[in-house]
Chain A
Amino acid sequence: MLIVFSRINEYLLMAWQALRAHKLRSFLTTLGIFIGVSTIITIFTTIQGLNQYVYGQLSNIGANTVYVQKYPWVIKGDFWRYRNRKNITYKEYLALKKRCTLADYISPEVFAVKRVGYRGEKFDNIFIMGSNENYKETANAYPEVGRFLTELDVRNNHRVAVLGAELADKLFKHENPLGKRITIGTDKYRVIGILERKGSFFGQSMDNYAIVPIGSFRRVYGGHRGLRIALMTTQPERLEDMKDQIRGILRQVRKNKPGQDDDFAINQQDMLTDLYRQLTSTLYAIVFVIGFISLVVGGIGIMNIMMVSVTERTREIGIRKAIGATRRNILSQFLIEAVIIASIGGFGGIAVGYAAGLLILSQMDLTIGVSLLSIAVGFGFSTMVGVLAGFFPAYRASRLNPIDSLRYE
């Protein structure tokens, strides 16, 4: 039913005066909606902040890059199934490098945690990665200063290192790092470049590591370690074909029998975004249930107070009708009053919910701009509750008979 509110500011004024006449009661009535809307907006704002951040970070793992690894990133079902898999080795890397024609960049990746030092300064537990010149593309890790590993560095197993921005800051406070010799473990490496800063992911810095040529790494730390192989195509439409090709090559190299499952995983970014989306959609569902319940409770509160208000003001309704108010005039008046109660709660809820969301995000070192969507959601819900809760009392008021209302004591 569509009600055309004519002379809306008259009704707003009437409603405002009626609410001011019962300040405490009006305030208490708005609380239900306030709590409902602030809950929804708090979580909504928080999730939106997280989304922005998580998707931003996940996009660091390029959408066109896949990772060949022993285990899938998202394990569905029985973990023990994967336990007996053999490591991914250098042999697989070489096979892919030779035969995977659809990949434009391939980088082997192997990790260790070492002590890194320069002059007197030493830092433990620094992540060291062995890779090749393609890592720059597959990991989107470009040097800010200096240069990245070159094919020559990799082929000749040069003792050179590219540093993450944070590691460089820690080691070289007042010096230019380029060309300096640092120790990684017990060996000396020459610094050739510093990477662009990537920031942190859930408090974990992504700039606190060093990259060295994979051959140098394997010689010093042993060639037995499991590998991760990143493969990237520059043409997104080729991604699926590339995955098929990788699968064929690896099944052959790792001697998977026909009918046997792959004993390796081809991981890619969307597995993580899917997982994240699943988690947040559960959260959304919970929030909407909680928010919905409090909005219903708030709506019942408003309906209740409006019923009381209509009864209390029977005489007022009689007077208004006696001097020419139509049913629609009375309906509009009370409906707008209910909507205003709900909207006041809604606006308060939006403000407080948004502030609370920002507070939660700031605890995680995140921020988010004002979201028109959450304002629209909060405002929409509260107005809707006001209309639904106010309609029945307002309708009752509009149907009152003038003379009976005037006689009402």
Chain B
Amino acid sequence: MLIKLEQVSKIYKLGEIEVPALIDTNLQIEKSEYVAIMGPSGSGKSTLMNIIGCLDVVTEGRYILNDRDVSSMSDDELARIRNREIGFVFQTFNLLPRANALHNVELPLIYNGTPRAQRRELALQALDNVGLAERAFHKPNELSGGQRQRVAIARALINNPSLILADEPTGNLDSKTGEEIMEIFERLNNAGNTIIVVTHEEHIAKHSKRIIRLLDGRIISDA
């Protein structure tokens, strides 16, 4: 089992008010699955993704990743997992605006101490895999939305993570570009990567083999 959530709740406190974003959630995901998470706005999809991606911590319950309890991990261990085990693709790309595509892609390698020459080579390779080798020295503001998202995907894949998380990766893209991005994920899944995609769109979710639907912080269907 790759991912195991046991009675997980996430409650945001805004002063006196408590906002439950995720309530008593149980979820298991195997290696090499391709899962789509759907649900209306505010239903807790991003909250769930951030917990799975070790960007956020649970308020209650346990999250077990690769047989290890995430809530007992130190900050440095979490950083290592985010670096090595997980590739996160965001709706808003989250590229460093001042760095060119190549530098953005090699950033995760800097934090795990890959030597410079090897870093270059790997980053160029990753850009080539998403069809952007000739854009390596462009800054994000010199790229189209679809190109930026492909840079972000190249960055997420650079360390060969076993788990790829994408929170509305096509949300800011037109449908044709969105389809291209989804093809990349399909390719990755066929190669054995575990993929979890959050989306609003049914036709995007069709790419997956399993759809989890959320409503008001609870899983209402899983098929």
Q: Is A406 in contact with chain B by the CB < 8 A criterion?
A: yes
Q: When A316-B96, A329-B111, A403-B55 are in contact, do A323 and B82 touch as well, CB less than 8 Å? A: yes
Please measure, in the bound complex, the distance between the C-alpha atom of A70 and the C-alpha atom of B96, giving whole angstroms: 81
Contact A21 B98 (CB under 8 A): yes
Enumerate A292-339 residues with CB–CB distance to B below 8 Å.
Answer: 315-316, 318-329
Contact B75 A403 (CB under 8 A): no
Chain B residues lying within 8 Å of A322, measured Cβ to Cβ, are 53, 55, 82, 88, 94
Contact B75 A323 (CB under 8 A): no
Contact B84 A324 (CB under 8 A): yes
Q: Is B69 in contact with chain A by the CB < 8 A criterion?
A: no
Q: Is A17 in contact with chain B by the CB < 8 A criterion?
A: yes
Chain A residues lying within 8 Å of B79, measured Cβ to Cβ, are 321, 324-327, 329
Please measure, in the bound complex, the distance between the C-alpha atom of A247 and the C-alpha atom of B111, giving whole angstroms: 78
Q: Is A402 in contact with chain B by the CB < 8 A criterion?
A: yes
Q: What string of 1s and 0s marks CB contacts (under 8 Å) between B33-57 and chain A?
A: 0000000000000000010010110
- Find the A residue at minimum CB distance from B81: A324
- For the side of the interface on B, what is the size category? 20 to 34
Please measure, in the bound complex, the distance between the C-alpha atom of A102 and the C-alpha atom of B64, giving whole angstroms: 94
Contact A406 B107 (CB under 8 A): no
Chain B residues lying within 8 Å of A224, measured Cβ to Cβ, are none
Chain A residues lying within 8 Å of B159, measured Cβ to Cβ, are 324
Chain A residues lying within 8 Å of B50, measured Cβ to Cβ, are 403
Chain A residues lying within 8 Å of B217, measured Cβ to Cβ, are none
Chain B residues lying within 8 Å of A325, measured Cβ to Cβ, are 79, 111
Q: Is B80 in contact with chain A by the CB < 8 A criterion?
A: yes
CB distance from A21 to the nearest CB of B (A): 6
- For the side of the interface on A, what is the size category? 20 to 34
CB distance from A316 to the nearest CB of B (A): 6
Q: Is B15 in contact with chain A by the CB < 8 A criterion?
A: no
CB distance from A43 to the nearest CB of B (A): 41
Contact B113 A323 (CB under 8 A): no
Q: Is A282 in contact with chain B by the CB < 8 A criterion?
A: no
Contact A323 B55 (CB under 8 A): no
- With beta carbons under 8 angstroms apart, the residue of B53, B98, B113, B155 that contacts A17 is B98
Q: Is B172 in contact with chain A by the CB < 8 A criterion?
A: no
CB distance from B187 to the nearest CB of A (A): 22
Q: What's the dominant secondary structure at chain A's contact region?
A: helix
Q: Is A6 in contact with chain B by the CB < 8 A criterion?
A: yes
Q: Is B143 in contact with chain A by the CB < 8 A criterion?
A: no
Q: Is B83 in contact with chain A by the CB < 8 A criterion?
A: yes
Q: Is B134 in contact with chain A by the CB < 8 A criterion?
A: no
Contact A324 B111 (CB under 8 A): yes
Please measure, in the bound complex, the distance between the C-alpha atom of A7 and the C-alpha atom of B107, giving whole angstroms: 13
Q: Is A10 in contact with chain B by the CB < 8 A criterion?
A: yes
Most buried by B among A21, A327, A402: A402
- Find the A residue at minimum CB distance from B79: A326
Contact B75 A327 (CB under 8 A): yes
Chain B residues lying within 8 Å of A318, measured Cβ to Cβ, are 94
- Find the A residue at minimum CB distance from B108: A323
Most buried by A among B76, B95, B110: B110
Enumerate A12-28 residues with CB–CB distance to B below 8 Å.
Answer: 17-18, 21
Q: When A403-B55, A403-B56 are in contact, do A323 and B111 touch as well, CB less than 8 Å? A: yes
Chain A residues lying within 8 Å of B110, measured Cβ to Cβ, are 7, 10
CB distance from A120 to the nearest CB of B (A): 81
Please measure, in the bound complex, the distance between the C-alpha atom of A18 and the C-alpha atom of B82, giving whole angstroms: 24
CB distance from B117 to the nearest CB of A (A): 13
Chain A residues lying within 8 Å of B99, measured Cβ to Cβ, are 17
Contact A323 B88 (CB under 8 A): yes
- Find the B residue at minimum CB distance from A402: B55
- Find the B residue at minimum CB distance from A404: B56
Please measure, in the bound complex, the distance between the C-alpha atom of A320 and the C-alpha atom of B106, giving whole angstroms: 12
Please measure, in the bound complex, the distance between the C-alpha atom of A266 and the C-alpha atom of B17, giving whole angstroms: 89
Q: Is B112 in contact with chain A by the CB < 8 A criterion?
A: yes
Please measure, in the bound complex, the distance between the C-alpha atom of A320 and the C-alpha atom of B110, giving whole angstroms: 10
Contact A323 B83 (CB under 8 A): yes
- Find the A residue at minimum CB distance from B87: A323
Chain B residues lying within 8 Å of A326, measured Cβ to Cβ, are 75-76, 79-80, 111
Chain A residues lying within 8 Å of B96, measured Cβ to Cβ, are 316, 319
Q: What string of 1s and 0s marks CB contacts (under 8 Å) between B99-139 and chain A?
A: 10000000110111100000000000000000000000000
Contact A7 B55 (CB under 8 A): no
Instruction: Pick 30 A–B contacts, CB within 8 A, sort by A.
Output: A7-B110, A7-B113, A10-B110, A18-B98, A21-B98, A315-B94, A316-B96, A318-B94, A319-B94, A319-B95, A320-B107, A320-B111, A322-B55, A322-B82, A322-B88, A323-B82, A323-B83, A323-B88, A323-B111, A324-B82, A324-B84, A325-B111, A326-B75, A326-B76, A327-B76, A329-B111, A402-B55, A402-B56, A406-B90, A406-B94
Contacts A7-B110, A328-B76 given; 6 further ones with Cβ under 8 A? A7-B113, A316-B96, A322-B55, A324-B82, A324-B159, A403-B56
The 6 closest A-B pairs by CB, nearest first: A324-B83, A326-B79, A324-B111, A403-B56, A403-B55, A323-B108
Residues of B within 8 A of A (CB): 50, 53, 55-56, 75-76, 79-80, 82-84, 88, 90, 94-96, 98-99, 107-108, 110-113, 155, 159
Residues of A within 8 A of B (CB): 6-7, 10, 17-18, 21, 315-316, 318-329, 401-403, 406
